[in-house]
Amino acid sequence: MKTMKSTRNRSVAAKVLGAPSEEQIIGILRTCAKYFNDKNQLFKKVVPILEMINFVPIFSSGQLNRQELQRLVPIIAKELTQLTLRMNDILPLYLLCQSLNVKTMPRLKSCFVLSSGTVEETNHLILLGLLLPQLEVLRVFAPVNGDFPVLRKLRSLQLNHGISKVALSQLFRNSLQLENFVLTDETLKMNNWYVNVTGIEKCRKLRELVLPLYHQPSVSLCKLANLTKLSLHHQMPWTGQHWLSIITPIIHAKRHELQCLTLDGSYLTVPLNLFNLQLLQCTALSKLCLSNCTLADSLVSTVPLSCQHLSFRRCVIGKLDCHLKAHALMQLLELFDCELLTAAGPSNHVLQTVLWLRKHQPTLNAIHVLYSQTINLRKEMEMWPINHLLENTPWIQIHELQPQATQLWQQPLGTITMQFGHPVNYMPDMEEQQTGQHLNRITAADIIKDIDKSMIGH
């Protein structure tokens, strides 16, 4: 019954992808074996088809005899560049290759390992290191609970159903060329709800990294000098403030390189106080995006002076002005589907407050306010005379957008994303400030002369 079901699924997949049926593939393979020639045009056609499907069950089902396999497998192994198979198919493929004296698949660069769908899934992933020495891209959709293969050329890895602590340590030790690594929340269930990333600093080429929010130690991530993007995710309640103790060391260590921070607070259990993120010392931070957050009021500034773009989506905001104090570089404020409150209820003086702040700052340009599905702002705009709007364009420019025009960024639920760039830890050139030459190259820290405690309170 299981064989019939898997055969039917492969046939359906083949039709969807435009590939021949399993019976047609076997017919083509037999023709190739009969007219044995590695330069045969049929081989050039059948190899791309085999790269689209899991062909291991076809080769191990007994439908091709030993002589046919001896002719086909060495050539196919030499030509394949992509492989898709189930976790339980790895061992049969390895044994088949060994029996035919096929040691490796030298051109194969990409491999997708699917779950076998069984409760107890035997992990033979380590055999891939013997078969696929040139593998660069690996996607695993099954738990990795055994040893991790030695893959010296691996550049991109995605693990969708978790990995054991031992295997993770082996990965960091043996795949030093890794540039892109995605690890899902499933790993938490295999590691007592924490992922130990000790040793990840050995993968010095890592540029993009996706990890469960609850990992340790965070200091290991801080040592990744080439990291350009880090995403931390957890789609269960973020209880209390414990999650802050995980991300603030990263923010502090990367405070001169952090350029953009995007946070979705769908699983926060308490209001978010932006001040606790310790962003004020982030001299390169130019963009901050928050979604699904209830923001706690703050008596002090929460956003660094370098911030130019502040965006809120589906947020509940009390004192908006505490996020805009003394921010001469702020150029764009976005409020999409937000609720703006005061102690007495909805606030209808948000734009007037932004305008007042802007007029009392040494600003270089007007601040652009984009909003959508925010009733408070629409009501306030209706009360502004057209001449009042026009005469204040040097300080503030306001535009209402349709909902479909606001899909500029969408953060996955329960995810914090940080983007890093070249360090910005220098003082601005004051001569350029006076002559106006700096206007041609505003960077994230050009206005920052000093971020001291006396400024924070204003």
| Measured distance CA(435)–CA(416) in Å, rounded | 40
Same-domain check for residues 154 and 295:
no
Same-domain check for residues 336 and 222:
no
| Measured distance CA(310)–CA(94) in Å, rounded | 54
- Residue from 148, 221, 145 nearest 189 by CA: 145
Among 25, 48, 75, the domain-final residue is: 75
pLDDT value, residue 353: 86
What predicted TM-score, i.e. pTM, was given to this entire model? 0.84
pLDDT value, residue 10: 44
User: What burial letters (b/e) apply to 226-246, b meaning 16+ CB within 10 Å?
Assistant: ebbebbbbbbeebeeeebbeb
Residues 202-258 pLDDT 10s: 999 999 999 999 888 888 899 999 999 999 999 889 988 889 999 999 999 999 999
pLDDT value, residue 349: 81
- Residue from 437, 260, 413 nearest 332 by CA: 260
Torsion sign over Cα 58, 61, 64, 68:
positive
275 domain-assigned: yes
Among 75, 92, 125, the domain-final residue is: 75
Same-domain check for residues 202 and 313:
no
Terminal C-alpha separation, the chain = 73
Residue 130 dihedral angles phi and psi, to the nearest 5°: -85, -35
| Measured distance CA(370)–CA(400) in Å, rounded | 6
pLDDT value, residue 408: 67
Domain count, the chain: 3
Same-domain check for residues 51 and 102:
no
DSSP character at residue 437: G
Same-domain check for residues 68 and 102:
no
Structure token digits, residue 395: 């300080």
146 domain-assigned: yes
Same-domain check for residues 132 and 169:
yes
pLDDT value, residue 430: 36
Among 22, 55, 75, the domain-final residue is: 75
Residues 277-328 pLDDT 10s: 999 999 999 999 999 999 998 888 889 888 999 999 999 998 888 888 767 7
Q: Name residues of the chain where pLDDT drops below 50.
A: 1-17, 343-345, 427-431, 433-435, 438-439, 441-458
Spatial contact of 315 and 295, defined as CB atoms under 8 Å apart: yes
244 domain-assigned: no
Range of the domain at 58: 1-75
pLDDT value, residue 158: 96
245 domain-assigned: no
Here the CATH number for the domain that contains residue 404 is 3.80.10
235 domain-assigned: no
